[in-house]
Amino acid sequence: MESNFVQYVVQDSGILIEAALIFYLARTSKWRGQGAVAFYLSSLVVGQLTRACFLHEYGLTSLRYYYAYWSTDFLLVMSAFGVVCLFFRRACWREEKIWRLIRIFLVFLLVLVAAISGVSLSLNRHDFFTYFLVAFNQKLYFTCLVLNTLLYLMLHRMNSADDQLELLVCGMGIQFAGPAATLALVHLTYGGRFAKWLAYQTIPLCTFGMLLVWAYVIVYVPKTAGGLGRRDPPLRPVPAELSKL
Amino acid sequence: MKNLVLMFLLAVLVVATASSLWRMFVATATIDGVRPLVAIGTDPVPPFPPPPKPPKPTK
């Protein structure tokens, strides 16, 4: 009972934070500058409200909620992939050549994930939902995790001046990495009960953590003006002989 | 010495995580079945539905 209560509190708080952030973005006219953030938050609100309706109507253990949950997860994972792509675009704002390469790579990855999921569907044609939709979700989720990590490394490598983007990417990292780590634990313990329980608790908590980070970023961290350039390299010290001239 | 131990532990962690993820990828590509364990959202995750009963053999 207490566990259920905590779950509902996390769920409702998450939806409230998402709605509040969308309202804040709209009210402060930051909507235009934060298109990717607004898009993802809107997807989260739509997906989670649908899930909440099914949950309250049919209950946690019902088959309808199960289908509603994993169907809306498709929407959310696709949105997450879109957001990671938009973050890549923002990171490469002044690097058109790099962006062209990355764009091709991202499209290739999406097609590859769909193709691999298609193979598992071809082996099990009787169950489209489990063998394509859910398999596609899981694979695209891990693709997003890897891409997000690459983006973070790229931002450091480029010495980006966009602090806001770095924090947004960190927030996405919390959302992706937590469940992936607990999944690794599940496999290491060969599907242990505790590991599975932990995996199920981690998913909502990590998304909640991501929302808190994003709330901090949106409200307190200003977007770098003009943005997206690199930090100026530190000035080299002038040698003593030259300074005398 | 401390650094060596830390590096060893880190290497074990990385290998364990990578092997688990690989196993998961392979498992989802086979006909064993898909067990979704990662998702997005603050909603409670539904438990797996019971497996469908096998059809009765017809005589």
Does A56 fall in a domain?
yes
Q: Does A175 touch chain B (CB under 8 A)?
A: yes
Q: How far apart are CA A205 and CA A41, in angstroms?
A: 16
pLDDT surpassing 70 at residue A199: yes
Residue A120, domain CATH: 1.20.1070
Q: Does A78 touch chain B (CB under 8 A)?
A: no
Dihedral of alpha carbons A221, A21, A215, A107, sign: negative
pLDDT surpassing 70 at residue A195: yes
Asked whether the ipTM of the predicted complex exceeds the cut of 0.90, the reply is no
Of the partner residues A8, A61, A204, the one whose CB lies closest to the CB of residue B41: A204
pLDDT surpassing 80 at residue B53: no
Mean per-residue pLDDT of chain A? 84
Helix axes A96-123, A135-157, angle to 10 degrees: 160
Domain range spanning residue A102? 2-223
Q: How many CB pairs under 8 A join A and B?
A: 134
Does A239 fall in a domain?
no
pLDDT surpassing 60 at residue A113: yes
Of the partner residues B17, B25, B44, the one whose CB lies closest to the CB of residue A184: B17
Name the residue among A163, A153, A161, A164 with its Cα closest to residue A229. A161
Spell out which residues of chain B touch residue A142, defining contact as CB-CB under 8 Å: 21, 25, 38
Q: How far apart are CA B29 and CA A122, in angstroms?
A: 11
Does A146 fall in a domain?
yes
Q: CB count, 10 Å around CB of A90? A: 21
Spell out which residues of chain B touch residue A60, defining contact as CB-CB under 8 Å: 44, 46-47
* Average pLDDT over every residue of A171-177: 91
Does A70 fall in a domain?
yes
Higher pLDDT, A166 or A122: A166
Spell out which residues of chain A touch residue B40, defining contact as CB-CB under 8 Å: 44, 47, 73, 76-77, 80, 141, 175, 203, 207
**What is the model's pLDDT at position B8?**
75
* Average pLDDT over every residue of A89-115: 89
As for how many domains chain A has, the answer is 1
Name the residue among A14, A54, A16 with its Cα closest to residue A206. A14
**Range in A111-115, A125-129, A147-151 the model is least confident about:** A125-129
Taking the CA of residue B35 and the nearest CA in chain A, the distance in Å comes to: 8
Does A238 fall in a domain?
no
Choose, out of A76, A113, A117, A203, the residue to mutate when testing the contact with B (most B CBs < 10 Å).
A203
Does A112 fall in a domain?
yes
Does A242 fall in a domain?
no
Q: What's the N-to-C CA distance of chain B in angstroms?
A: 71
Does A241 fall in a domain?
no
Spell out which residues of chain B touch residue A48, defining contact as CB-CB under 8 Å: 41-43
**CA angle (A228, A231, A233) in 5-degree steps:** 150
